[in-house]
Amino acid sequence: MTSHSLFSAFLSVVRRDLLLAYRHRSELVNPLAFFVMVVSMFPLAVGADVELLRRIAPGVIWVAALLASLLSMDAIFRSDFEDGSLELMVMTPHPLSVLVLAKVVAHWLLSGMPLLLITPLLALMFDIDVDVIWVLLLTLLLGTPVLSLIGAIAVALTVGLRKGGVLLAILVLPLYVPVLIFASAAVDSAASGLPISGQLYMMSAILFLAITLTPWPTAAALKMSLG
C-alpha cells in the first residue's frame, strides 16, 4: 500500500464520520449545551461575586470542557462496533492506528472545536479580559485534542461492554490531570500578567506525544474488544 492510498483512506474515514454527523446534526448541539450548562451551574453554587468568579473561571471552564469531552467520547466507536464497520476497518491493508487517528480527528472537529467557538461567550459571563480569553482559547486548542486522543484509548477498552459509562470516566479522568493542570495554570498566569510560554510548551509537547503514541494502544484495545 502506498502512502498516497493511506492518506486517502485517512481522509475518507474523516469524511465519512463528518457526513454521518451531518445526518444527525441536531445531536451536535448536545455536548455544547452540556458544556454551557455545567459552567452556568457554578455561579449558582458559589455566588455571584464577580471577583471570585473571575478567579475560578479558567478552572471551571476547563473542568466543564473535560466533562463535555468525556460525555461525547463514548460515541466515537460505539456505532461502528455495533454495526460491524469496525471489523471491516480492522481488516483493511492500512494500519488500524492511522484509521483510529482519522476517527479521533473527526471526533475532535465535531465535539472539541465547537467548545472553542462557544467559550468566548462563557468567558464574558465570567468577566474575563479579552487578552486572557485568547489564552484560554489557545489552551483549549492545544488541550482538547489530547482529551479526545486519550479518551479514545479508554473507549476502545470499554466499547465491548454493555455498561461502560461510569467506568469510562474512572479510566480517563486521572489521565486528564496534566492537561487540566497546565491549561488552567496558563490561563491563571495570563490573568495575573505572568508569562505563560512554559505551560504552552508543555501542552504542545503533550499534544505531540499524544498524537504519536495514543493511536497504538487504541488500535490494540479495539482489536482486543473485537476478539
Interface residues toward other proteins, by CB under 8 A: 1, 8-9, 12-13, 16, 19-20, 23-24, 79, 82-85, 87-95, 99, 153-154, 157-158, 160-161, 163-164, 167, 170-171, 173-175, 177-178, 181-182, 185, 202, 206, 213-214, 217, 220-221, 223-227
**3-class DSSP string for the chain:** CCHHHHHHHHHHHHHHHHHHHHHCHHHHHHHHHHHHHHHHHHHHHHCCCHHHHHHHHHHHHHHHHHHHHHHHHCHHHHHHHHCCHHHHHHCCCCCHHHHHHHHHHHHHHHHCHHHHHHHHHHHHHCCCCHHHHHHHHHHHHHHHHHHHHHHHHHHHHHCCCCCCHHHHHHHHHHHHHHHHHHHHHHHHHHHCCCCCHHHHHHHHHHHHHHHHHCHHHHHHHHHHHHC
> Smallest distance from the beta carbon of 33 to other proteins, in angstroms?
22
Separation CA 193–CA 30 (nearest Å): 35
> Smallest distance from the beta carbon of 53 to other proteins, in angstroms?
19
Which CB sits closer to other proteins, 122 or 138? 138
> Smallest distance from the beta carbon of 124 to other proteins, in angstroms?
26
Which CB sits closer to other proteins, 28 or 90? 90
Which residue, chain included where needed, has cell 498566569?
189
Which CB sits closer to other proteins, 122 or 186? 186
> Smallest distance from the beta carbon of 146 to other proteins, in angstroms?
11
> Smallest distance from the beta carbon of 19 to other proteins, in angstroms?
7
Separation CA 191–CA 54 (nearest Å): 9
Which CB sits closer to other proteins, 48 or 170? 170
Which CB sits closer to other proteins, 12 or 40? 12
> Smallest distance from the beta carbon of 15 to other proteins, in angstroms?
9
What lies within 8 Å, CB to CB, of 16 at 6+ separation is: none
Which CB sits closer to other proteins, 47 or 192? 192
